[in-house]
Chain A
Amino acid sequence: MFGKLVPVPSGAVIPERDIGKRPILNCINLGVTFGGLKAVDDFNLMIGRTEIAGLIGPNGAGKTTVFNLLTKVYQPTHGTILLDGQDTHNMTTAQVNRAGIARTFQNIRLFNDLTVEENVTVAMDAQMKYSMVSGIFRLPSFWKEEKVAHERALELLSLFHMQDLANVKAGSLPYGAQRRLEIVRALATNPSLLLLDEPAAGMNPSETAELMENIRKIRDTFQIAIMLIEHDMNLVMNICEGICVLNFGRVIAKGSPEEIQSNPVVIEAYLGKQKEA
């Protein structure tokens, strides 16, 4: 069901169907140093426009740091990020989001005191135009745009069958629903690249299976690229087309699930060197 990975001139690989189009993300020599420690170093990655990509590696390898660099939560100390060909240098987190990267967080960061629906509509803020004055005096633009936002929020929530929870406080949702709501909130910003940080963490096998379906559904419906960090190898090997393996802040392998599974360097990183064997 997936296109197979093909090499592109820079030495990277992207799915066949995305060839000939500009890659959505191109990281060149990306890196960050925290007090002399190179948390991520010489990170190069290209992601196709509709690719589902995986970022894996042992704990502390720097996976979330890569997400934080891409979304400018941390400023990279060197390297370039090209988002749809546009250099995100000098952009803030908010600007990067408006340029097309949305994300979820490893430790869920919802707006707990807002309702489920408000968590989604607040993410549409950049698409709304009415001014503070229109908001205070309830001018027609307020009603019109709020109606559009309300309908779109319910539509997005229905993707995960959450429309009935619209008026519940986000903080009182069960764990799995919170993870799903974070994805919906990210989607509400109209991203072209969605970053999911351990979306299956804490989920049981049936929830994970449903999540896999949903991730595919999101890609197919919105025709966007998705990159995910995940420790559940079953999920990664099943839905990712391209996988990038990090260890100690460096890329140690890139390729299709089959290539990664049989790569000795990857096996060593996960299991340690088998000296006696």
Chain B
Amino acid sequence: MKQRKISKTNVVNFSTYLGMVIFFLVMTALSKAGVLNRSMTGLLVPICCYMSMAVSLNLTVGILGELSLGHAGFMSVGAFAGVIASQSLLDVVPSAGLRLTIAMIVGALFATVAGFIVGAPVLRLQGDYLAIVTLAFGEIIKELVTCLIVGHDENGLHILFNLTGNKTVEDLGLSDTGIAIIKGAQGTASVKTIASFTAGFILVMVTLFIVLNLKHSRAGRAIMALRDNRIATSSIGINTTKYKLMAFVTSAALAGAAGALYGLNYSSLQAAKFNFNTSILVLVFVVLGGLGNIWGSLVAAAALTILPEALREFADYRMLVYAIVLILVMLATHNPTLQSFFARLKPGKKEEKEAA
């Protein structure tokens, strides 16, 4: 029995890694062969970022069971911290790969700090109250970044906080060789884009490694216990706040790394990109892929990032179609009548009942 269980979990995890490797190889081959058009090639890095976002959000929503509506906020922190790091190190670290790595680590670190600041006070709230507070934090982060003006010259970083809305890059006092990095509401400017599909692939693999291994360790068990029954979890001596924070902050850090990669994929990017709608977009990946289901998140993130692109010929109707698909999928998977219909089609369910 024990042997079977270990192999079963391992098989699922192994297939997840393998699937990702295959996806990477196939996409690389296709783009080398020139089969993919430009817009598809351009989607490869964002797909990896969203996969990583979805897997990390799944840690909070699926595994910990707390609704977060501000995940894009951490992505934003990571993106702008990463871009600042990369742009400031242009001369010091000429290697793009190394600079990208540093940028992603910096992005993850800043998002970790943001995760702590958000998580420590609010994780004692529950359910929808926690959801609304994460939403609020996402919006606050967005507005704070909108107020940032950052530049870099040989004297180091110049940072201005544009509270009144009438300061510009000129007020930074940059030297002639200096470069503007973030121009307030206009976002990042002339960023040297160093993100690559390979980096995206590595990011997703690292994210998978961290989340899957965390899930199958004592921390993961405690986090899932917390999701199933909070009072019982504290009754067996588990510090619930510690584990909640651990899941939440890990999730934020991974989102930060994904954000850094995303930020370095575009020469210009506005803070408004990481708004409530982006948080929701990632949440939709998680819910459609299945709560707690890691490979489901990967597939949903990839499919739903490609879908609007594939529906391009429907132009104006594509978001409408997306909305209808979303509603229909939810109805099909959660309506009791339809659900029992699907359950009868699945052979796996029956087996489980017999085992019990």
Contacts and interface: CB of A to CB of B under 8 A. Distances in A.
A235 interface: no
B222 A109 contact: no
Q: How large is the interface on A (under 10, 10 to 19, 20 to 34, 35 or more residues)?
A: 35 or more
Nearest to B353: A172
A212 B122 CA distance: 45
Nearest to A95: B237
Interface residues of B, number: 34
Given A94-B239, A125-B238, A168 B356 contact: yes
A166 B2 CA distance: 8
A173 interface: yes
Contacts of A250: none
A114 B221 contact: yes
Interface in A89-124: 92-95, 97-98, 102-103, 105, 109-115, 118-119, 121-123
Contacts of A113: 224, 227-228
B210 interface: yes
B221 A172 contact: no
Contacts of B217: 130, 132, 135-136, 142, 146
B39 to A, nearest CB: 36
B240 interface: yes
B227, B229, B236, B239: most-surrounded residue (chain A CB, <10 A): B236
A121 B221 contact: yes
B352 interface: yes
B280 interface: no
A169 interface: yes
A167 interface: yes
A189 interface: yes
B188 to A, nearest CB: 32
B346 interface: no
A186 interface: yes
B224 A114 contact: yes
A146 B9 CA distance: 16
B219 A135 contact: yes
Contact of B221 (A98, A118, A130): A118
Contacts of B219: 132, 135
A136 B246 CA distance: 13
B92 interface: no
Given A132-B246, A137-B213, A73 B231 contact: yes
A168 B214 CA distance: 21
Contacts of A103: 235
B83 interface: no
B4, B229, B237: most-surrounded residue (chain A CB, <10 A): B237
B222 A122 contact: yes
A210 interface: no
B1 interface: yes
A145 B220 CA distance: 15
A92 B352 contact: no
B213 A111 contact: no
A100 to B, nearest CB: 10
A32 B229 CA distance: 24
B79 to A, nearest CB: 24
Interface string A212-239: 0000000000000000000000000000
Contacts of B222: 122, 125
Contacts of B239: 94
Contacts of A173: 356
A112 B237 contact: no
A39 interface: no
B356 A172 contact: yes
A73 B239 CA distance: 14
A115, A119, A164: most-surrounded residue (chain B CB, <10 A): A119
A109 B232 contact: yes
B225 interface: yes
A71 interface: yes
Contacts of B235: 71, 73, 93-94, 97, 102-103, 105, 109, 186
A19 interface: no
B222, B229, B232: most-surrounded residue (chain A CB, <10 A): B232
Contacts of A142: 217
Contacts of B228: 110-114
Nearest to B212: A136
Interface in A164-186: 164, 166-169, 172-174, 185-186
Contact of B214 (A111, A136, A174): A136
A143 to B, nearest CB: 11
Contact of B236 (A115, A146, A150, A186): A186
B228, B235, B240: most-surrounded residue (chain A CB, <10 A): B235
Interface in B312-356: 352-353, 355-356
Nearest to B210: A136
B237 A94 contact: yes
Nearest to A131: B219
A73 B5 CA distance: 35
Contacts of A102: 235-236
A118, A146, A169: most-surrounded residue (chain B CB, <10 A): A118
Which 10 A-B residue pairs are closest in the complex by CB-CB distance?
A135-B217, A172-B356, A97-B237, A109-B232, A93-B234, A111-B228, A126-B237, A123-B236, A167-B5, A122-B221
22 contacts: A71-B235, A93-B235, A97-B237, A109-B229, A110-B229, A110-B232, A111-B228, A114-B224, A115-B5, A121-B221, A122-B233, A125-B221, A125-B236, A126-B236, A126-B237, A132-B246, A136-B210, A136-B213, A136-B214, A149-B218, A172-B352, A173-B356
